[in-house]
Structure 1
Amino acid sequence: MPKMFSDPDALAEEIIRDVGPRLVVGLPLGLGKANHVVNALFDRAAADRSVHLTIFAALTLEKPRPSTEIERRFITPVIDRLFGGYPDLAYARALHDGTLPPNIEVLEFFFLAGRWLRNARAQQNYISTNYTHAASYLQARGLNVIAQLVAKRVVDGVPRYSLSCNTDTTLDVLRAVRARGGALPKLIAQVNSELPFMPGEGDLAADQFDAVLEGPASEFPLFAPPSEPVSDTKYAIGLHAAGLVRDGGSLQIGIGQVGDALAQSLIVRHRAPERFCELAARLSPGLPPPPETGRFDKGLYGVSEMFFEAFLALIEAGILTREADGARLHAAFFLGPKAFYRALRAMAPADLDRIRMMPVSFTNELYGDEELKRRARIDARFVNNAMMATLLGAVISDGLDDGQVVSGVGGQYNFVAQAFALEGARSILTLEATRGTGRKTISNILWSYGHQTIPRHLRDVIVTEYGVADLRGKSDADVIAAMLAVTDSRFQGELMARAKDAGKLPRAYEIPAAHRANLPERIAAALRPAREAGLLPMFPFGSDFTDVEQRLIPALQLLKEASASPLALLGLAREGLLGAAPTADDKACLARLGFDQPKSFADRVFRVLVGGALVRTRAA
């Protein structure tokens, strides 16, 4: 049986006595990190340079950090409400502050998006890897400790522990070490009472663990990022992607709000196919309807490295009903808002048993039980997000051309490879056609780029808010034409000229008329009736934001966009000064930001600008 601890410092001393002064500690991706354990080890190593601590991690979760005064006023109460009791990870704080001791190194293979840009220590210690290879890299580094958050259950007086949110790499590591007869790393558990106890392969007997930290002092609220609002752009992408999903097939969804948009679009299609077809026609006037528009009478089966609340919504809507090996969904890790964790804890055992948490080698690869996986993964659609793409179909999802890493490869390449290995499967990579940088709007579809995540020889399906580019098996000229059709029209001419100058597109080629009005205003107009009818809500699966905060979000987004242009700011100021009188809701929003009684000139300016943004969004 494991040794029981209530004091993380005492547990850290025990680990060092057992393992020695050279610690190689593996932490699960995302939610499953044993914060108190790793913080105690960090403090111990920071105080004693004879201890060398290597931390191998991924997706280090951190509280949001506001960068402007208005962001601070808006997000600080949200942080206090949702993350107030979450213990910060000491190694992350030291990396940000530049105070990481020389005897401590932190290696990550997946970053919280954008969080570690221009941080030299983090960038230099990033390891580029597929999610499925992380376990082998851990072992090659000499992994000797795994510190994981677990759920606890007592059965007939005997405790059991669930790996719950992170079966991903832990099970793969343990299996690989046992297979070669090596010394198992010390498996350290930290019990968290909020963590759902998930059945399946991660349900382990107590004797699998070397030590367990449990007690009131080490309890903390789970990291629960609130759902973000789904924009028109993301809904358009979700609707296009939903028209590619076959009834009776399989579904994987990657991290991001496109997943919420896709799930809600599938629900609209299932419940009201005629409305879905109307939406598709409005989004793509003059073009053929999407190939898949009917209800999900056979149902879908989910196989996804990430499990989040959108999958619960698909289960509740009667869409995720096809079972494989007794499960509607196989997943490797989960993360979500507080309501998501509550739903899992409250779920009936029979329903929870149809959600199986598995090693990442199961979800992301075909190797091992290959025939079983092939039978289950019928007509698979692997939907993942990207940052940019080239006209020739290469995709950029994790880094910049100067080598700076934004996030990580994760499982994206794994799922692209599966799409080509499985009969009837497709890889669907989604991206917004443009992004704003300061006063400029930039195309996310480029002629070329100095970094690629998915090479063009694995090009398959790319979806933007303007439509679907089916690239598999196409010639370079046809690929370029398909990509231009889903490019924002403000950039089509320049990109087409680049392709022609390179000899990759006929000089006589012209973009078809149906694709020459690819502009945000057209997308907003196409979706407005569905938005007003409640088919495409801002928060399709609920929100941890208050009603006042939900009212503020689009106004603050509008203000952020306007801040890149003095003329746009003047327009908002005019609305704030001369527009309609503030409503009771407007006054509540201003009070939420502390602008109801401005105390300085800056406060008065902000009050006018926010007031103008509220007027503008109310009229939209």
Structure 2
Amino acid sequence: MPVLDVEAKTRSAQQFLNSNKSISKPEAVRLNDVEKLVDAVLAEVGNHIVLGLPIAIGKAITFSNALYQRAKADPSITLQIETAISLEIPRAKTDLENKFLAPFVSRHFAGVQELDYMKDVRNNTLPDNITVFEFFFKAGSFINHAQQLNYTSTNYTHAVRDLIDKGVNVVAQIVAERQVDDITTYSLCSNSDLALDIIPALEALKVAEGRKFVSVGEVNSNMPFMRNHAEVSANTFHFILESQEKDYALFATPEDAISNADHMIGFYASSLIKDGGTLQLGIGSLCSALSYSLLLRHQNNGCYNEIFNDLKIEEKFPIVAKVGDRSIFSQGLYGCSELMVDGFMHLYQAGILTRQVFSDVLLQSLLNDNVIITDVNINTLTILLKHKAISTELTTKDLVYLQELGIFKSAVTLYQNTLYSNDESCIADLSQIDALLWIEQHCLGDKLKGGIVMHGAFFIGPKAFYKALNAMTEEDHAKFCMTSVMYVNDLYDHFLGDQKIKAMQRKEARFFNSAMMVTLDGSVISDGLENGQVVSGVGGQYNFVAQSHQMKDARSIIKLRSTCVRNGKLQSNVLFNYGHNTIPRQLRDIVITEYGIADLRSKPDHIVYTELIKIADSRFQPQLLQQAKDAGKVAANYQIPIAFCHNLPEAITDLCNKHKQHGVFPQFPHGSSFTHAELKLMKALKSLKNKGQSRRGKFKLMLQGLTATKPTEEIQRLLSRMDLTDPVNFAERMAQRLLSKELQDK
């Protein structure tokens, strides 16, 4: 609930520490000159700054750029930046890529402000007095880059601890601002993930040890103002950089294209989710594919079941009957996800993300057991009485409790054992039938209050997602709670909720995450390569996997594509072994590829190995099986069942095409940031890139370029979009011919 509503119940982190450690702070100093803000910060902490910036879109860009430029110009200042996922506007690596990207970038990223330090990181031109450390890279952004030296490997839930250990003395992030009844509050918006814990922790160290610390909030009116835990008091920050006349646009990710393989992974994944359960989605096109199939299951259940039967899911993957479902969502789902993506908003708007959870243990227990529902009736009251949550003769404390939960209307009053409502009164004795009848008529609310359908720690997504968040009503906002990543990602006690209530809320949890590769023993590779290079980071993956093993009805589910193209060569993502893992084999559970579901938990190795081989691409199955047999992990006489020997892209294409005729499995179910022409060009350019990865491929492309035919009128229009209508040199002429030929073939 918002800070403004209840100061002594579900409180912000700052309020928690204020009440428990006697920390008192004045309201933030408001400034509209960023250079004066930098002066003030330097005056407070000195010339050695360890700047903590939040993950992704929550970075205070105006302030951090000004501080960076000050340190760049003054070598006496040392600046150490600690952060994760420093977003960059896409940049082309070739002239051809630039012809495609430049018009899109100028349109889609108009008004987006960039991080100055990232430009120098990318160019390897950071000055000696400035260092940038990250605990999570944008996937693949720093392969073969010097920034590999500065990666910090940590679980998301340990990030606050590590930042404190590293000496962070300045924390800065974007906030939103609002005034209600002349009271100003701020929202942590997209990044309540670490701020709710690190700001009060550093405040406590400042008081206890004299540690220097400054917190900065940079107001941006484009940020959605999130309520509940994300809404904090005006003294949470030391300084506020006021909103500018025209605030910079938020970095928005283009909508993900969903391939046929992605759709199959998403469909299999959707069959493992029980109505009334809990959902962590993940990120990327596999996440989008899952949310799409959940929408299909709920909105067109007949079609969903036809596909379910075509895939022979019940016959081939018995785990679905045990832990999954194929019906509509009558009870709804609850979202508990470190990253709140746009998929959750689509599920909410479709009436799927509707299962509300509550911070009251008894209430949550009664809801879990279907003893009560969120609609209030006289049974709600008598059940609470039966469980001694309230007294037979209602007290003032009982009335406050019932009103907070929405069981009693806020206008009801109690005086000398008498209830009053609308100028009528009745004895407050629940043992009397007449009193219960009067209460039912005059006192009861309509629905329980304080229910949350989504707990998230940070968000990022397409423009339409931010627009939807900004358009939410107060009733909608009350159900979405951006909170601490330590609340979401594990079950340990936290001041915002203890282990007991977390576990009760997260019934039938399905924690989905994506991976790059999996080995036949069930180990998962998600964050890096066997040579030590980091692709992205561990983030919260381990947290959710470990959490799933702590709850009796939860499952950890890893999604990955069965193959990939590396260095121009098709390779399996299901491997016999690999020199690195993110999730060790003892934490194996469920793995999904586009060819099905492998149930690995509690299974002996020979079953684990064969289950994973059964969902690998059939072009790699013989080799994988032989490797397993040679190692003595699979019986010498084992044969792959015939039902799993046709795992080929052609089979997926045939099935998807069959249902695409009825509007199912679209590439962009919620629209695209790219135009129709750009989507055609993207497909052709990607194909050319894949063909040219090998020396032989490059030679074949050269021949194609020399033998290309005259482009059609439609292709001429596409070439015009690429500024290749009138090529000016040999490279452009070759690019025109190759692209023209590729477009003809598509």
The structure 2 residue matched to 1:150, chosen from 175, 180, 188, is 175
Query: Which amino acid in the other structure matches residue 454 of structure 2?
Result: L
Query: Which amino acid in the other structure matches residue 99 of structure 2?
Result: R
- State the match for 1:98 in structure 2: 124
TM-score by length of 1: 0.94
Q: Distance in 2 between matches of 1:208 and 1:103?
A: 30
SS in 1 for 2:532: coil
Deviation at 1:472, TM superposition (A): 0.3
Q: Is the 8 A contact 2:132 2:150 kept in 1?
A: yes
Q: Which has the larger radius of gyration?
A: 2
SS in 2 for 1:332: strand
Deviation at 1:549, TM superposition (A): 1.6
Deviation at 1:288, TM superposition (A): 5.4
Q: Distance in 1 between matches of 2:202 and 2:34?
A: 27
- State the match for 2:198 in structure 1: 173
- State the match for 2:471 in structure 1: 346
- State the match for 1:357 in structure 2: 482
- State the match for 1:56 in structure 2: 82
SS in 1 for 2:620: helix
Q: Is the 8 A contact 1:247 1:298 kept in 2?
A: yes
Inter-CA distance 329–247: structure 2 relative to 1 (3 Å threshold): same
Q: Is the 8 A contact 1:144 1:186 kept in 2?
A: yes
Inter-CA distance 280–69: structure 2 relative to 1 (3 Å threshold): farther
The structure 2 residue matched to 1:481, chosen from 610, 621, 624, is 610
Deviation at 1:595, TM superposition (A): 2.4
- State the match for 2:29 in structure 1: 3
2:356 matches 1:327:
no
Q: Distance in 1 between matches of 2:270 and 2:713?
A: 38
Q: Distance in 2 between matches of 1:19 and 1:176?
A: 17
- State the match for 1:498 in structure 2: 627
Deviation at 1:143, TM superposition (A): 1.8
Q: Distance in 1 between matches of 2:594 and 2:702?
A: 30
Query: Which amino acid in the other structure matches residue 134 of structure 1?
Result: A
State the Cα deviation string for residues 273-323 of structure 1 (Å, max 9, x = none): 232222234445873584321111111000000011111111111111101
Inter-CA distance 571–227: structure 2 relative to 1 (3 Å threshold): farther
Inter-CA distance 480–87: structure 2 relative to 1 (3 Å threshold): same
SS in 2 for 1:216: coil
SS in 1 for 2:633: coil
Inter-CA distance 234–454: structure 2 relative to 1 (3 Å threshold): same
Query: Which amino acid in the other structure matches residue 455 of structure 2?
Result: H
SS in 2 for 1:78: helix
Q: Is the 8 A contact 2:258 2:289 kept in 1?
A: yes
Matched length: 613
SS in 1 for 2:544: helix
- State the match for 2:268 in structure 1: 240
Query: Which amino acid in the other structure matches residue 5 of structure 1?
Result: L
Deviation at 1:94, TM superposition (A): 1.7
Deviation at 1:535, TM superposition (A): 1.8
Q: More deviation in 439-448 or 384-393? A: 439-448
Q: Is the 8 A contact 1:572 1:613 kept in 2?
A: no
SS in 2 for 1:367: coil
SS in 2 for 1:613: helix
Q: Is the 8 A contact 1:575 1:616 kept in 2?
A: no
Deviation at 1:435, TM superposition (A): 0.8
- State the match for 2:399 in structure 1: none
- State the match for 2:349 in structure 1: 316
- State the match for 2:330 in structure 1: 297
State the Cα deviation string for residues 526-570 of structure 1 (Å, max 9, x = none): 111223332221111222212322333333333333334358748
Q: Distance in 2 between matches of 1:150 and 1:609?
A: 48
Inter-CA distance 399–540: structure 2 relative to 1 (3 Å threshold): same
SS in 2 for 1:99: coil
Q: Distance in 2 between matches of 1:276 and 1:412?
A: 29
- State the match for 1:17 in structure 2: 43
Q: Distance in 2 between matches of 1:575 and 1:298?
A: 61
The structure 2 residue matched to 1:519, chosen from 640, 648, 652, is 648
2:401 matches 1:269:
no
- State the match for 1:163 in structure 2: 188
Inter-CA distance 358–576: structure 2 relative to 1 (3 Å threshold): farther
Q: Is the 8 A contact 1:420 1:426 kept in 2?
A: yes
SS in 2 for 1:208: coil
Q: Distance in 2 between matches of 1:434 and 1:296?
A: 33
- State the match for 1:141 in structure 2: 166
Q: Distance in 2 between matches of 1:295 and 1:608?
A: 51
Query: Which amino acid in the other structure matches residue 86 of structure 2?
Result: T
Deviation at 1:575, TM superposition (A): 10
Q: Distance in 1 between matches of 2:259 and 2:704?
A: 21
State the Cα deviation string for residues 176-232 of structure 1 (Å, max 9, x = none): 346676458311011111100010112122222111112437821111111121111
The structure 1 residue matched to 2:499, chosen from 342, 364, 370, is 370
2:712 matches 1:582:
yes
The structure 2 residue matched to 1:435, chosen from 545, 553, 564, is 564
Unaligned runs of 5+ in 2: 1-26, 359-450
Inter-CA distance 177–9: structure 2 relative to 1 (3 Å threshold): closer
The structure 2 residue matched to 1:561, chosen from 686, 690, 701, is 690
Deviation at 1:65, TM superposition (A): 2.0
- State the match for 2:438 in structure 1: none
Q: Is the 8 A contact 2:515 2:524 kept in 1?
A: yes
SS in 2 for 1:207: coil
Inter-CA distance 547–414: structure 2 relative to 1 (3 Å threshold): same
Q: Is the 8 A contact 1:225 1:336 kept in 2?
A: yes
Q: Distance in 1 between matches of 2:75 and 2:698?
A: 53
Deviation at 1:238, TM superposition (A): 0.5
Q: Is the 8 A contact 1:114 1:407 kept in 2?
A: yes
State the Cα deviation string for residues 409-443 of structure 1 (Å, max 9, x = none): 00000000111011211001111111102331011
Cα root mean square deviation, aligned: 2.1
- State the match for 1:252 in structure 2: 280
The structure 1 residue matched to 2:219, chosen from 166, 187, 191, is 191
Query: Which amino acid in the other structure matches residue 287 of structure 1?
Result: K
Q: Distance in 1 between matches of 2:543 and 2:228?
A: 23
- State the match for 1:42 in structure 2: 68
Q: Is the 8 A contact 1:46 1:101 kept in 2?
A: yes
Q: Is the 8 A contact 1:309 1:541 kept in 2?
A: no
Q: Distance in 1 between matches of 2:706 and 2:267?
A: 36
The structure 1 residue matched to 2:533, chosen from 385, 404, 409, is 404
Q: Distance in 1 between matches of 2:246 and 2:70?
A: 17
Inter-CA distance 575–349: structure 2 relative to 1 (3 Å threshold): farther
Inter-CA distance 176–575: structure 2 relative to 1 (3 Å threshold): farther
2:592 matches 1:463:
yes
Q: Distance in 2 between matches of 1:568 and 1:322?
A: 56
State the Cα deviation string for residues 222-258 of structure 1 (Å, max 9, x = none): 1111112111111111111111111110000112111
